[in-house]
A and B are shown apart, each in its own frame.
Chain A
Amino acid sequence: MSRRPAAWVIVMRREILAKLTDRAFLVGTLFTLVVLAGVIGVQGYLGERTKTYDLVATAEARPLADQVATAASKGDAKVRVKVTDANDAVAAHAAVDTGSADAWLHHEATGWVLTGRTGVPDALATTTTGVVRSTTLAANAAAAGTTVQAMEKGATLTTTQLVGDPQRSDLNKGIGFGMAVLFYVAVLMFGITLANSVVEEKQSRIVEIIVSAIPIRQLLAGKILGNALIAFVQMAVYAAIALVGISFTSVGRLLPSVTGPVLWFVLFFAVGFLAIACLYAVAGALASRTEDVQSTSMPLTMLVMGIFFGSAFASGTAQTVGSFIPPFSAVMMPIRMLDGGVPWWQPVLALAGLLAFAFAAVVLGEKVYRRALLQTRGRLSVRQALAAAE
């Protein structure tokens, strides 16, 4: 006879199996993966592809149009320009109007004009503007007996930053926002799932059979850990796909530098998730019917939204303070660490605070859960549940 697993392991296994055989969950996960891969793929495609524009010109404008084509092929913006000839203005006009050309380059009294049918593509306009500007400037400079270089001397402005580099800052912002979203989505989705599964057991009264066979603590632990495990795996898959996607882009080279904060985030995520999941289990226990879960979990939903907005938008002192206050610290500390300059003791202190919060949540959670589980008449408040005898 094989050794029998502990009760919480059996409960956890059932939670996971129930989830893995739930069609809605599988379809949802698959859908998210497809969307995620799609977004990354589209970004990559848009970033890599070369767009060719047809520029129509009469003989008068042909030399300038050729210069635009040359400039486009030299520039690293992925724009190519193909020049087509038109006999006269009427033919050029017709070419744009019928769509066989994207724009018509011609000269008017005020200067050069680029005409599109309903507008001129930005990339084409930018390239053309540059060429017109430089050729005209060169001509004007020659007329004035000087050179463009001489005229433009000293007229440049370059931006620099003290910490990191601009691409790194963008990456940090992106990853920080990603962390906030990931935590928000995971906690909300699995929190509600957990609350629903608690109330489902309560509503169907199977909980009476279960707690007559095993201690309530084991039931609570198994349910929370089972859901947490699924949440971690699901979020890890999402994050991995996103990171793989990023590694193919130009900021991919910077990824190794964020490894430390991301690993911290995994730790903070785990502890923060457990604490809030426990509170969601309580929200489920306070309800008597599935319909009540929404209102009993409302304060938690507000809290989770607060964490999201706090971590996505807070900066400066607010961010520093928030990064120590559990459960906000679960996301705000790793985000602060992305920007660097956080001494090692700060995340340790924040994690200790978060652990204390999680412990308190589990202790309080078990107390309320135990008392509320067999109360099946309507909604309970935490106060009522704690006041009730076991």
Chain B
Amino acid sequence: MLELQGVTRRFGDLTAVDDVSFEVDDGLLTGFVGGNGAGKTTTMRMAMGLLARNAGEIRWQGRQIEATDQRRFGYMPEERGLYPKQRIIDQLVYLGELHGLTAAAARASATGYLDRLGLADRVKVRVEKLSLGNQQKVQIVAALLGEPTALILDEPFSGLDPDAVDAMTGLLREHSSRGIPVLFSSHQLDLVERICDRLVVMARGRVVARGTVAELRTAGPTRYLLDLGADAGWVRDFHRGIHPVDVDGSRAVVEVEASGAEQALLTEAVRRGPVHEFARVIPALSDVYREVTA
């Protein structure tokens, strides 16, 4: 397990990362979301030991992390970097060797991954000849070489086509099911919602929410939607543990302030006439995100 405790980083007067704490559990996919400039990349760089921190602690398997631990992590930086003029396979073998693999093992591992990402016939091509999406796949392979003990990936999905997204998802799941912690940042909330076990949301350098998708979606106030056969205007004056959020024609959305108050509301509605719909409203992740980062 990778834990960040009160991690802080300042650049001059700007506090890019402010007292950030969260953990990335073994065997789970943790999504890292937040707007541009929220501090995700800086946080990931500190987790990789590329940037020093001004305060806070990073722990690995319950103890203070060391450079030798971080060197066994698989890392994919935000801005894609490869040698443009070198052949894909040579480049991956080089990076694999730097991670402590033998040349033969690195070659075998790289070829296997490239095959799965549909690049098997392009292993001898120079990187500069590849499309951006394909260059990114090569980078992902670079991060996965050599059985990393954790994965820290900055925007691994950006620029990938749907097939590649599926292949990538498969790869990430495979690694998390090996029992290693996987942290990846993304702007694509629908994707994060679909594949992540847990979520960390950052805004303005701070963690503003964390938990499973279900926890985040249900963490807010409980809301119900009421759809009547007639005008719902009376709901505004119902009170009794109910706060009307939005009343429009025959529909009303209310927030339940006292547990069980929604039942009284339903009883009243049924007494007044037909009820077409009465349901709990669970906000989409994107709505939750908008709310916590606002």
Which positions in A face B, CB cutoff 8 Å? 1-2, 4-5, 7, 10-11, 14, 17-18, 22, 200-201, 204-215, 374, 389-390
Contacts and interface: CB of A to CB of B under 8 A. Distances in A.
Nearest to B145: A213
B133 to A, nearest CB: 17
B97 A209 contact: no
Contacts of B99: 213
B179 interface: no
Contacts of A18: 83, 85-86
B261 interface: no
A2 B191 CA distance: 43
Contacts of A209: 75-77, 81, 95, 139, 142-143
A5 B101 CA distance: 10
Interface in B61-79: 67, 70-71, 73, 75-79
Contacts of A201: 81, 83
Interface string B76-98: 11111111111000100011011
Interface of B: 45, 48-52, 54, 67, 70-71, 73, 75-86, 90, 94-95, 97-102, 139, 142-143
Contacts of A208: 45, 50, 75, 77, 81
Contact of B102 (A1, A205, A390): A1
Given A4-B100, A22-B85, A212-B49, 6 more contacts: A204-B80, A204-B82, A204-B83, A374-B45, A374-B51, A390-B52
B interface secondary structure, majority: loop
Contacts of A210: 95, 98
A205 B71 contact: no
Given A212-B49, A212-B71, A212-B73, A206 B100 contact: no
Contact of A4 (B48, B76, B85, B97): B97
B81 A10 contact: no
| Dominant SS among interface residues on chain A | helix
Contact of B79 (A17, A200, A205, A212): A205
A206 B71 contact: no
A5 B103 CA distance: 10
B50 A213 contact: no
A17 B86 CA distance: 10
B50 A206 contact: no
A210 B71 CA distance: 9
A77 B210 CA distance: 95
B8 to A, nearest CB: 12
19 contacts: A2-B102, A4-B97, A4-B101, A7-B98, A10-B97, A11-B98, A14-B94, A18-B83, A18-B86, A22-B85, A204-B82, A205-B79, A206-B82, A209-B75, A212-B50, A212-B71, A212-B73, A213-B98, A374-B45
Contact of B77 (A4, A10, A205, A390): A205
Contacts of B71: 212-214
Nearest to A10: B97
A145 to B, nearest CB: 88
Contacts of B82: 204, 206
A10 B98 contact: yes
Contact of B51 (A5, A205, A390): A390
A204 B73 contact: no
B70 A212 contact: yes
Nearest to A206: B81
Given A18-B86, A209-B95, A215 B45 contact: no
B44 to A, nearest CB: 10
Nearest to A208: B77
A211 B98 CA distance: 9
Given A212-B49, A390-B51, A207 B81 contact: yes
B98 A206 contact: no
A204 B94 contact: no
A215 B67 contact: yes
A284 to B, nearest CB: 15
Contacts of A7: 98
Contact of A204 (B49, B84, B142): B84
Nearest to B67: A215
Contacts of A389: 52, 54
A374 B98 contact: no
Max count, chain A CB within 10 A of own CB: residue among B48, B50, B51, B73: B50
A205 B80 contact: yes
Contacts of B83: 18, 200-201, 204, 206
Contacts of B54: 389
Contacts of B75: 208-209, 212
